[in-house]
């Protein structure tokens, strides 16, 4: 007789919302510039010919200038407006599978949390917001030091990228949002930079104000 065992892992997740000082459309445009679509055709071509992982790393490094790509997008408001809802909202799967692989090798189930689920939405007063679940709550639930170690190693690389200030000035706000991801625990952040999630604070920290 076959029996199965179900393991339950309860954990809490903190939802974070960044108030964005831009219109919905403006911020969405900048967000999608900073986190471009995953180059699916190129990735599929590498998979089809069994390319070495070094080629995948090179491809994604070139495709993701700030370290993140969009894997999926859904403009929810285009459907919800049929019910008379007027608020705008678009949600995404945002991440980087070369980063995820360094956790996947230790625990494949980490893909439940990667890519990250993010949303740009508009409140009734037409203010724009960017919302996501605290990544460290999700990844930390696996309780594997090796997964945490990957985040700590990558922090220095990604934090340095956001400090350079390279690229169009109009990407400053999305740089702040991505910095907020780091401060929220997606990657390890030094103590002096924790709990900084507002665009103004993060822009200042990274020399982008």
Q: What is the pLDDT of residue 11?
A: 82
Tell whether the model's pLDDT for residue 103 goes beyond 70.
yes
Looking at residue 13, its pLDDT comes to 80
Return the pLDDT at 192.
Answer: 35
CA angle at 65 for the pair 193 and 188, rounded to the nearest 5°:
25
Question: Residue 191 sits in which domain range?
Answer: 16-205
pLDDT at 33 over 70: yes
Does residue 51 form part of some domain?
yes
34-78: per-residue pLDDT in tens?
Answer: 889 999 999 999 999 999 999 999 999 999 988 889 999 999 999
Q: Determine, yes or no, domain membership for 87.
A: yes
Domain assignment present for 77: yes
Assigned domain for 188 exists: yes
179-196 core/surface letters (b: 16 or more CB in 10 A; e: else): bbbbbbbbbbbeeebeeb
- Structural domain total, the chain: 1
CATH number at residue 165: 3.30.310.70
List, for residues 76-100, the tens digit of each pLDDT value: 999 999 999 999 999 999 989 998 8
Whether residue 205 is predicted with pLDDT greater than 50 in this model: the reply is no
Mean pLDDT computed over 1-14: 80
Interval 188-203 mean pLDDT = 38
Residue 161 lies in a domain: yes
Residue 202 has pLDDT above 50, yes or no: no
- Can you give the pTM of this predicted structure? 0.75
pLDDT of 196 > 60? The answer is no
Residue 1 covered by a domain: no
Residue 147 lies in a domain: yes
Percent of all residues in the chain with a pLDDT value above 70, rounded to a whole number: 69
How confident is residue 203, by pLDDT bands cut at 50, 70 and 90?
very low
The answer as to whether 61 is a domain residue is yes
- Looking at residue 175, what is its pLDDT? 64
Positive/negative CA dihedral, 68, 152, 176, 119: positive
Question: Of 84 and 176, which is predicted with more confidence?
Answer: 84
């Amino acid at each position: 007789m076959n029996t199965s065992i179900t393991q339950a892992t309860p954990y809490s997740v903190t939802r974070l919302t960044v108030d964005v000082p831009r219109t919905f459309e403006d911020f969405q445009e900048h967000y999608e510039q900073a986190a471009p679509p995953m180059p699916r055709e190129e990735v599929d071509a590498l998979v089809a010919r069994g390319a070495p992982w070094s080629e995948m790393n090179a491809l994604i490094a070139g495709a993701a200038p700030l370290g993140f790509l969009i894997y999926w997008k859904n403009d929810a408001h285009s459907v919800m407006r049929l019910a008379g809802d007027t608020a705008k909202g678009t949600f995404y799967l945002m991440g980087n599978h070369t980063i995820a692989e360094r956790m996947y090798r230790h625990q494949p189930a980490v893909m439940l949390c990667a890519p990250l689920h993010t949303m740009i939405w508009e409140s009734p007063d037409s203010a724009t917001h960017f919302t996501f679940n605290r990544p460290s709550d999700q990844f930390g639930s696996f309780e594997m030091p090796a997964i945490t170690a990957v985040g700590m190693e990558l922090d220095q690389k990604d934090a340095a990228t956001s400090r350079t200030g390279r690229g169009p000035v109009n990407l400053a706000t999305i740089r702040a949002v991505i910095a907020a991801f780091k401060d929220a625990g997606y990657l390890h952040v030094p103590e002096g930079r924790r709990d900084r999630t507002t665009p103004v604070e993060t822009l200042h920290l990274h020399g982008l104000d």
